[in-house]
Amino acid sequence: MDDEYIVIGSANINQRSMDGGRDTEIAMGAFQPHHLASTSNGSQRPQGQVYGFRRALWYEHIGDNSDDFDEPESVECVKLLNRVAERNWKLYCDDALDESVNTHLLRYPVEVGEDGSVTSLSGMQYFPDTMALILGSKSDYLPPILTT
């Protein structure tokens, strides 16, 4: 997130994981004292291996090494991600298989209204490959807020 500190691992925040008697979780954190923002020789962001690892993950999942990834909070970065996700969703829904797709980012097929309402994309009730409902279904056991 800030190219100074990295946390890698599996640490789900739920009862099963946090109980300590059921699931085993592991995570590690690391930082490089010589690559902190305060010691990065005037550059805005540190350029150590934590930075390199984050950039490698962007490339692995997005298939691009855009300079926009140096500021993931920027409008330009968000627009780039949305373009890639939208393109991949269209390819995913297409009848023809496009084996040139080398990214992992996919738009989730929902629209969120200004009032917080969630609907599936127009004309899309099911995921194309599994015919599973995009919005799921109501549970007889869980509160509706968890299954809508």
How many of the other CB atoms lie within 10 Å of CB of 127?
Answer: 14
Instruction: Identify which of 86, 89, 54, 84 has the alpha carbon closest to the alpha carbon of residue 72.
Output: 54
pLDDT computed for residue 1 by the predictor: 55
pLDDT computed for residue 40 by the predictor: 54
At residue 147 the predicted structure's pLDDT band, cuts being 50, 70 and 90, is: low
69 in a structural domain: no
How many of the other CB atoms lie within 10 Å of CB of 147?
Answer: 13
Tell me, yes or no, whether 102 and 140 share the same domain. Answer: no
Phi-psi region of 58 (alpha: psi -120 to 50; beta: other; left: phi over 0): alpha
At residue 76 the predicted structure's pLDDT band, cuts being 50, 70 and 90, is: very high
pLDDT computed for residue 78 by the predictor: 93
Burial label for 47, CB within 10 Å (0-12, 13-18, 19+), is: middle
pLDDT: is 138 or 39 the higher one?
138
pLDDT computed for residue 75 by the predictor: 95
Q: Which domain holds residue 121?
A: 110-148
Please give the angle made by the CA atoms of 32, 74 and 58, to the nearest 5 degrees.
55
Tell me, yes or no, whether 98 and 43 share the same domain. Answer: no
Q: What is the mean pLDDT of the chain?
A: 81
At residue 77 the predicted structure's pLDDT band, cuts being 50, 70 and 90, is: very high
pLDDT: is 46 or 71 the higher one?
71
Tell me, yes or no, whether 6 and 40 share the same domain. Answer: yes
